[in-house]
C-alpha cells in the first residue's frame, strides 16, 4: 500500500509502497490555518493512482528494480503555508480560499487588513479593498471579518508540478488558475498519462516537466470536465 497521508511508512519489502508517496499536512483536525479536510481528496487520489498504470510503468522504466527515489511524490497542503512542502514535489496541491468581493456590510474596522500578512487587503475610506495580485488565498481575512462582509470564490486547489531536491533543486511550477476539489482526480490522471506517454528511459518526473514544458503540460491537461 502507498504511504498514509498523515503518517508515511517506510517502503515495504515487496515494493508495493514504491509506487508513490502521498503526504499531507495536519489539516483541519490539528491546524487553525487549514481550509479543508484532506483525507477525502487523498482517498480519491490514491484510487486514481492505483488504476492509472503507474506501477506497471515504473516496472518497465526500471527493470532492475524500483527504488524509493523513483516513486511519484505528491503533497497536499490545506493552506498556503505549505507544511507538506508541495513546492518540491512532483505534484503539489495547495488549498486556496480567495476573497473576491467586499460587500456593503463592510464596517471598515480594519481587522482584515491587520490579519493579512501579504498586504492584499486594506481599508480605504469607508470600505476594504482587495489587491488580488498580492493575495495568497489563505482565507485569513474571511475568518477575521466580524460582519461576514467578504465574499470568497469556491474552495479550490493550486496545482504545482515538477519540483525536486537533489544536486540541482528547483521549485515546482504552478499551473495557471486553480481547480475545484472534484476536478483534481481527473487532472492527476491526465498528468500521469502524460508522464507515461512522454517519459524517456530513466527520466525523472521533473526532467519530463522541464523538457515538455509546464505551459504545454497545462494545455494538455485541458478542462478536467472533458472526457
Res 224: pLDDT: 53
CA 114 to CA 112: how far, in whole Å?
A: 5
218 Cβ neighbours under 8 A, 6+ residues apart: 175, 176
Of 51, 65, 29, the C-alpha closest to 185 is 51
DSSP string covering 9-72, please? PPPPTTSGGGSEEEEE--GGGT-TT--S--HHHHHHHHHHHHHTTHHHHHHHH-TT---GGGSE
Can you tell me whether residue 123 is helix, strand or coil? Answer: strand
Q: Has this prediction a pTM greater than 0.85?
A: yes
Helix (H) or strand (E) holding 2: none
SS3 state of residue 106 = coil
pLDDT digits (tens, 9 = 90+) for 161-217: 999 999 999 999 999 999 999 999 999 999 999 999 999 988 999 999 999 999 999
Mean pLDDT calculated for residue range 115-127: 96
**Per-residue model confidence (pLDDT) at position 226:** 54
Is the pLDDT at 16 greater than 70, yes or no? no
What does the pLDDT read at residue 25?
Answer: 93
pLDDT tens for residues 30-57?
999 999 999 999 999 999 999 999 999 9
pLDDT value of position 222: 79
Beta carbons within 10 angstroms of residue 83's beta carbon: 17
Task: State the pLDDT at residue 11.
Answer: 40
What does the pLDDT look like over 59-114, one tens digit per residue?
898 888 888 889 999 999 999 999 999 999 999 999 999 999 999 999 999 999 99
Amino acid at each position: 500500500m502507498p504511504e498514509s497521508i498523515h503518517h508515511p511508512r517506510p517502503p515495504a519489502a515487496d515494493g508495493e509502497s514504491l509506487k508513490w508517496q502521498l503526504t499531507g499536512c495536519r489539516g483541519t483536525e490539528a491546524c487553525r490555518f487549514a481550509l479543508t479536510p484532506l483525507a477525502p481528496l487523498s482517498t480519491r487520489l490514491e484510487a486514481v493512482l492505483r488504476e492509472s498504470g503507474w506501477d506497471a510503468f515504473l516496472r518497465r522504466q526500471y527493470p532492475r528494480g524500483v527504488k524509493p527515489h523513483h516513486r511519484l511524490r505528491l503533497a497536499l497542503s490545506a493552506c498556503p503555508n505549505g507544511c507538506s512542502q508541495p513546492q518540491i514535489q512532483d505534484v503539489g496541491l495547495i488549498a486556496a480560499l480567495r476573497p473576491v468581493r467586499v460587500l456593503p456590510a463592510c464596517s471598515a474596522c480594519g481587522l482584515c487588513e491587520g490579519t493579512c500578512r501579504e498586504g492584499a487587503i486594506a481599508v480605504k475610506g469607508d470600505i476594504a479593498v482587495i489587491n488580488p495580485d498580492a493575495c495568497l488565498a489563505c482565507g485569513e481575512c474571511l475568518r477575521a471579518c466580524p460582519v461576514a462582509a467578504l465574499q470568497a470564490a469556491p474552495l479550490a486547489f493550486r496545482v504545482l508540478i515538477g519540483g525536486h531536491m537533489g544536486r540541482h533543486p528547483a521549485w515546482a511550477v504552478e499551473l495557471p488558475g486553480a481547480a475545484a476539489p472534484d476536478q483534481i482526480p481527473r487532472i492527476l490522471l491526465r498528468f500521469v498519462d502524460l508522464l507515461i506517454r512522454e517519459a524517456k528511459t530513466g527520466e525523472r518526473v521533473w526532467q519530463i516537466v522541464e523538457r515538455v514544458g509546464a505551459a504545454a503540460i497545462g494545455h494538455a491537461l485541458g478542462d478536467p470536465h472533458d472526457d
